[in-house]
Every structure is written in structure tokens, then in C-alpha cells.
Amino acid sequence: MSRLEGKIAVITGGSSGIGLATARRFVDEGAHVFITGRRQAELDRAVGLIGRNVTAVQGDVSRLDDLDRLYATVAETKGRIDILMANSGVVEHRRIGEVSEEHFDRTFGINARGLLFTVQKALPLIRDGGSIILVGSIAAVKGMPAHGTYSATKAAVRSFARTWTLELKDRGIRVNTLSPGPIDTPIIDSQVATREAADKLRSDFAAIIPLGRMGRAEELASAALFLASDESSFVAGIDLAVDGGMAQV
């Protein structure tokens, strides 16, 4: 039997990378998935790739009206949420002397504020016993040059999981953090100006990961499936690192 048969899932940032791979895996396991993203063209492409049992709602998690519209669509069409994966995020490389108000507000607005309200506004629809997966990063526990603002947002995500595990325990809602290490997704290319620079970045990451390579989005999807399914029924409040050992040794 499929592990998510009949479940309703919401995945923010579901149009590419980890979010898209997870949406495809959840659908393969029997779920109907709602995905969000800021760019309609990418959402349309994702819907075509997933092929069935998917609803796309364009929106930006830093805009509360967009979140309200997302959950109104879920309420009208399915009436509940069994799994929420708060995955939307942004990373911009800035060293301390380069941090601007715009950079700080954008990074915290999406990665921390947006994630908080993604969860808060979903709570009336999340069934008792549901699963919330917060996508963090091993950057929350490692010092990484030019990642100061990003790392701080991911440390906030880890803190949210601890607090919400206790606040939602009476409803049996499990809150866990899924923390990727370097994953080979389009975000790697977006961080540099040329293909050669992207190839070097991938090579540099592989050299410091004990398993000798970057991760794949599908490997994060497998971990998300574990946290979403009843196979993790006694797992709450954890930070599950999927990082090839990078932050573990």
C-alpha cells in the first residue's frame, strides 16, 4: 500500500529542486499535493512533470495575502491538510560588511517570517495527528562565510521546530526539521555568474563532504517521505540532517 494514500499535502516552494522532487514522490505515494511558487511558468512546468494529483497556487510566502489565498484554495477543494512542508527559501551570499537592510529583510522575510506564517495560517486546516516538516539547513549549525544572514534564519527554523513541538503536542501534530547539506539543484547555478563557476562550486562542495559528492533532490524527498508518513510516528522535534556527513563529523 502507498505510504501517503489519500493524504493531502502542501509544499511551499514546490516548483523546483527539493520541493518539486518531494511533490513528485508524495504523489507517487498516493497523496494529492498543493505546490506554491512565485513564478507561474515554473509552476506550470512542475505540474506537467508531476502529471496528476497536483494543484498549483502561485504565491510568495512573504506576502500574507498569498498565503491566505493558498489556504482558501485548499479549504475549498480538499478541506484539510495532513502534511505541510514549509520549504520556500532564499540564499544570497553576503559577508558582514556587505549586508544591507534589503538583503536582511528579504532573507528573513522569506526564510523565517514567511515560514512562521506558512505554519500559523495552515493550523486551522491541519488535522490532529498531522505532520509539519520545516526545511532548514546544516548552515544553522556551521560557520560558513557569506552565509551569516541565511544561517541565522535557518537557526530560527530549528528553534521554531522545538517550540512548536511543545505547543502542538495536544493535537498530536509532529513538527520536525529537515536540514539539507549541499544539494545539486538549480539554486547552485543561481549563486554564481558562469557555468564554470557553478562547476567549481559543485567540486568544492564535493571535496568537503565525507561521502564525496553533493546530494540529490530525490534523496531529500525520501527523507521528507519518512517524516511525512506513519513510519516516523514516534519522531517529533528532531533535526534530520541529510548532508552526506558534512555537519556530522
Give the residue extent of every domain in the chain. Answer: 8-242
What pLDDT, on a 0 to 100 scale, did the predictor assign at position 164?
A: 98
pTM: 0.95
Cα distance between residue 70 and residue 65, in whole Å: 9
Torsion over CA of 152, 188, 210 and 159, rounded to 10 degrees?
A: 20
Query: How would you list the strands of the sheet with 54-58, edge to edge?
Result: 54-58, 32-37, 8-11, 81-86, 126-135, 174-180, 239-242
Grid coordinates given for 149? 544572514
What pLDDT, on a 0 to 100 scale, did the predictor assign at position 56?
A: 98
Please name the fold of domain 8-242. Rossmann fold (3.40.50)
> In this structure, are residues 43 and 12 in contact, taking their beta carbons and an 8 Å threshold?
no
User: Which of 34, 150, 164, 205 is an active site residue?
Assistant: 150
What pLDDT, on a 0 to 100 scale, did the predictor assign at position 1?
A: 62
Q: Is-catalytic flag, 71? A: no
What pLDDT, on a 0 to 100 scale, did the predictor assign at position 200?
A: 86
Where the chain has pLDDT below 50, the residues are: none
What pLDDT, on a 0 to 100 scale, did the predictor assign at position 247?
A: 96
SS3 66: helix
> In this structure, are residues 53 and 7 in contact, taking their beta carbons and an 8 Å threshold?
no
The identity of residue 212, as a single letter, is: G
